[in-house]
Amino acid sequence: MEESRPLDALNEARNKSVMVDLKNGFRYTGKLKAFDIHINTVLDNAEEYKDGELKRKIGTVFIRGDMITIISPQ
Amino acid sequence: MEESRPLDALNEARNKSVMVDLKNGFRYTGKLKAFDIHINTVLDNAEEYKDGELKRKIGTVFIRGDMITIISPQ
Amino acid sequence: MEESRPLDALNEARNKSVMVDLKNGFRYTGKLKAFDIHINTVLDNAEEYKDGELKRKIGTVFIRGDMITIISPQ
Amino acid sequence: MEESRPLDALNEARNKSVMVDLKNGFRYTGKLKAFDIHINTVLDNAEEYKDGELKRKIGTVFIRGDMITIISPQ
Amino acid sequence: MEESRPLDALNEARNKSVMVDLKNGFRYTGKLKAFDIHINTVLDNAEEYKDGELKRKIGTVFIRGDMITIISPQ
Amino acid sequence: MEESRPLDALNEARNKSVMVDLKNGFRYTGKLKAFDIHINTVLDNAEEYKDGELKRKIGTVFIRGDMITIISPQ
Amino acid sequence: MEESRPLDALNEARNKSVMVDLKNGFRYTGKLKAFDIHINTVLDNAEEYKDGELKRKIGTVFIRGDMITIISPQ
């Protein structure tokens, strides 16, 4: 059995809803459109949350990978 | 179908209005003129915001990529 | 006798329960599914803790390696 | 039409007045003499500002690139 | 006489008791099982301390190298 | 005319008095003896300042490049 | 005359007493046994200081290079 790698988990989440938490306390939810080895990430239909509160809907968002703490399918 | 990469989303935003949020809480809006793999970014007709308030209009601005948290087309 | 390397310890923990502590004070527990040389890590059946308190159950979680302080088998 | 790159904008500002903002809140203005791919930057006839107040005139200054948030032609 | 390198000191401490201090104020003691060029480190029979107080015994622990400030044989 | 690079400015300052500001608020003055591409820097006849006050004279000092914000000839 | 490089200054300090200041405010003194290009450093007969006060004698200590601000021969 081949061992799985971390990016496999992101690949399985492609085009599905994910939650992305950032180092500055912001959370973005949306459909995972793209990511790369730096974990730079693009979400569609994105919503921005701070302290659990919806701040705004922002359509497409590019998130710089080094800001990300976790990504979780919803 | 070919899978999209994060920089594709920035390429589609070229010459369009974008919003760039920085780690220090500043936000810059303007027309996306250029970016590279470090996410170093150049905006034209740029405006600088802090805490939602317009601080100044600064024409062209080069933003160092490692300061950026998100980039979003407007 | 061959000397062991740090990633050997993670390999032995694969598919077992681990505890992952983050720089922002969050702790994640779950089954270690995957990791890479950056210590990007994927847990299954994950639970998120802050200050010793269970915050939520989040299924699968991808943790960016540079956020991790320690990983410990439970 | 060839797409522009971020360092092109700095090249056009060479020998012109620029404003450089740093992560520690300092601002330097002066004539842009040199920069490299790390965004290490040299200004001539430089002035140092903190909180909008001129602190000193410092002639030539070498600024380490990783301290820079933005560079803007004036 | 050949000049010694920093990792030689860690090699001599292999399978011996060491103290590892982290950037977040935590200290781990235990038997040094493994380390690599990033200073990723594995301890056996590890104990976790904060502010000089034993917080817990955690068996095997993988410590991400970039969290480490010093390692000292005991 | 050849374009100048940032390290040219440091080369011209070699064996001359410079002021080096650090991210932690310390300032070192002295004669610039050496530097490398990481901006690791060595000063001779160095003096250490904090908040504008001379703290001590320290002869030769090696400053790690990633701590440096600016270097300025005096 | 050949230009000196920063690591030359550390090489001259080998087996001599040095003072090493860290980003977290700790200072270590001792005999410089080893260093590498990352400025990972090993001291013998080391003493640990905080706020100018001797905290403990720790024999041999490995200091991770990215924690170091300055190294100065004593």
Burial status of residue E45 (CB atoms within 10 A of its CB: 0-12, 13-18, 19 or more): middle
- CA distances to B28, B49, B51, B60 from B55, rounded to whole Å, are 10, 5, 10, 15
- Whether residues B6 and A34 touch (CB distance < 8 A) is answered with yes
Report the alpha-carbon distance of residue A45 to residue G44 in Å, rounded: 58
Is the pLDDT assigned to residue C10 strictly greater than 90?
A: yes
Q: Is B10 on the interface with D (CB under 8 A)?
A: no
More confident residue, G4 or D12: D12
Positive/negative CA dihedral, B34, B39, B41, B46? positive
Q: Is residue D41 part of a domain?
A: yes
B46-50, D3-7, G61-65: least confidently modelled range = D3-7
- Report chain E residues whose CB lies below 8 A from the CB of C72: 46, 58-62
Report the alpha-carbon distance of residue D40 to residue D62 in Å, rounded: 7
Residue of C nearest to A71 (CA): C62
- Count CB atoms within 10 A of the CB of residue E8: 15
- Report chain C residues whose CB lies below 8 A from the CB of A3: 14, 34
- pLDDT band for A25, please (50, 70, 90 cuts): very high
Q: Is G33 on the interface with E (CB under 8 A)?
A: yes
Q: Is there a contact between C31 and C20 (Cβ–Cβ < 8 Å)? A: no
Helix (H, G, I), strand (E, B) or coil at B12: helix
HSE-up of E2 (CA within 13 Å, CB side)?
A: 3
- pLDDT band for G74, please (50, 70, 90 cuts): confident
Distance (Å) from the alpha carbon of B65 to chain A's nearest alpha carbon? 9
Helix runs in chain A, H state only = 6-12
Report the alpha-carbon distance of residue G32 to residue G43 in Å, rounded: 5
B2-6, D10-14, F66-70, G1-5: least confidently modelled range = G1-5
CATH of the domain at C64: 2.30.30.100
ipTM higher than threshold 0.90: yes
- Whether residues D62 and F23 touch (CB distance < 8 A) is answered with no
Nearest residue, CB atoms, F34 vs list G9, G23, G66: G9
Report the alpha-carbon distance of residue D25 to residue F29 in Å, rounded: 22
- Count CB atoms within 10 A of the CB of residue B10: 21
Distance (Å) from the alpha carbon of G53 to chain E's nearest alpha carbon? 17
- Helix/strand/coil (H/E/C) assignment for every residue in chain E: CCCCCHHHHHHHCCCCEEEEEECCCEEEEEEEEEECCCCCEEEEEEEEEECCEEEEEEEEEEECHHHEEEEEEC
Q: For the segment G13-50, what is each residue's pLDDT rounded down to a tens digit?
A: 999 999 999 999 999 999 999 999 999 999 999 999 99
- Whether residues B41 and D6 touch (CB distance < 8 A) is answered with yes
Burial D7-45 (b: 16+ CB within 10 A, else e): bebbeebeeeebbbbbbeebbbbbbbbbbeebbbbbbee
What confidence score (pLDDT) does residue A2 get? Answer: 64
What confidence score (pLDDT) does residue D13 get? Answer: 97
What confidence score (pLDDT) does residue A3 get? Answer: 78
Average pLDDT, chain D: 95
Over residues F22-27, mean pLDDT: 97
Report the alpha-carbon distance of residue C33 to residue D23 in Å, rounded: 38
Is the pLDDT assigned to residue D1 strictly greater than 70?
A: no
User: Which of B66, B70, B71, B74 should be substituted to probe chain A, the one whose Cβ sees the most A Cβ atoms within 10 Å?
Assistant: B70
Q: Do chains E and G touch (3 or more CB pairs under 8 A)?
A: yes
Place of tokens 């915050």: C55
B11-15, C27-31, G1-5: least confidently modelled range = G1-5
What confidence score (pLDDT) does residue F74 get? Answer: 87
Distance (Å) from the alpha carbon of C54 to chain E's nearest alpha carbon? 18
Q: Is there a contact between F54 and F9 (Cβ–Cβ < 8 Å)? A: no
- Whether residues E63 and C70 touch (CB distance < 8 A) is answered with yes
- Whether residues A67 and B39 touch (CB distance < 8 A) is answered with no
- CA distances to G2, G35, G66 from G8, rounded to whole Å, are 12, 11, 19
What confidence score (pLDDT) does residue G2 get? Answer: 64
Is the pLDDT assigned to residue B1 strictly greater than 80?
A: no
- pLDDT band for D53, please (50, 70, 90 cuts): very high
- pLDDT band for B58, please (50, 70, 90 cuts): very high
Q: State the pTM of this model.
A: 0.95
Is the pLDDT assigned to residue G1 strictly greater than 80?
A: no
Report the alpha-carbon distance of residue A22 to residue E39 in Å, rounded: 26
- pLDDT band for C3, please (50, 70, 90 cuts): confident
HSE-up of A2 (CA within 13 Å, CB side)?
A: 3
Helix (H, G, I), strand (E, B) or coil at D25: coil
Q: Is there a contact between E14 and E25 (Cβ–Cβ < 8 Å)? A: no
Q: Is B37 on the interface with D (CB under 8 A)?
A: no
Counting residues of chain D whose pLDDT is more than 90, the rounded percentage is 93
Q: Could you tell me which residues come within 8 angstroms of residue B36 by beta carbon, excluding any fewer than 6 positions away?
A: B65, D5, D6, D7
Is the pLDDT assigned to residue F1 strictly greater than 90?
A: no
- pLDDT band for A24, please (50, 70, 90 cuts): very high
Q: Is C67 on the interface with A (CB under 8 A)?
A: yes
Phi, psi of C11, rounded to the nearest 5 degrees? -60, -40
Report the alpha-carbon distance of residue B25 to residue B5 in Å, rounded: 27
Report the alpha-carbon distance of residue C64 to residue A71 in Å, rounded: 8
Q: For the segment F32-62, what is each residue's pLDDT rounded down to a tens digit?
A: 999 999 999 999 999 999 999 999 999 999 9
Report the alpha-carbon distance of residue G55 to residue A10 in Å, rounded: 47
Dihedral Cα F48, F50, F55, F58, nearest 10 deg: -10
Domain that holds residue D47: 6-73
- pLDDT band for G3, please (50, 70, 90 cuts): confident
Q: Is residue G1 part of a domain?
A: no
What confidence score (pLDDT) does residue F2 get? Answer: 64
What confidence score (pLDDT) does residue C16 get? Answer: 98
Over residues C34-50, mean pLDDT: 97
- In chain C, how many domains are there? 1
- CA distances to D18, D28, D47 from D53, rounded to whole Å, are 17, 11, 10
What confidence score (pLDDT) does residue E2 get? Answer: 64
Q: Which residues of chain E have pLDDT under 70?
A: 1-2
Average pLDDT, chain G: 95
Is the pLDDT assigned to residue A1 strictly greater than 60?
A: no
Pairing of strands B26-35, A41-50: unpaired
HSE-up of A38 (CA within 13 Å, CB side)?
A: 17
Report the alpha-carbon distance of residue G66 to residue E67 in Å, rounded: 10
- Provide long-range contacts, Cβ within 8 A and 24+ apart, for A29-37: A29/A74, A30/A61, A32/A71, A33/A60, A33/B4, A33/B9, A34/B3, A34/B4, A34/B5, A34/B6, A34/B8, A34/B9, A35/A7, A35/A10, A35/A65, A35/B6, A36/A65, A36/B5, A36/B6, A36/B7, A37/A7
- Whether residues C66 and E62 touch (CB distance < 8 A) is answered with no
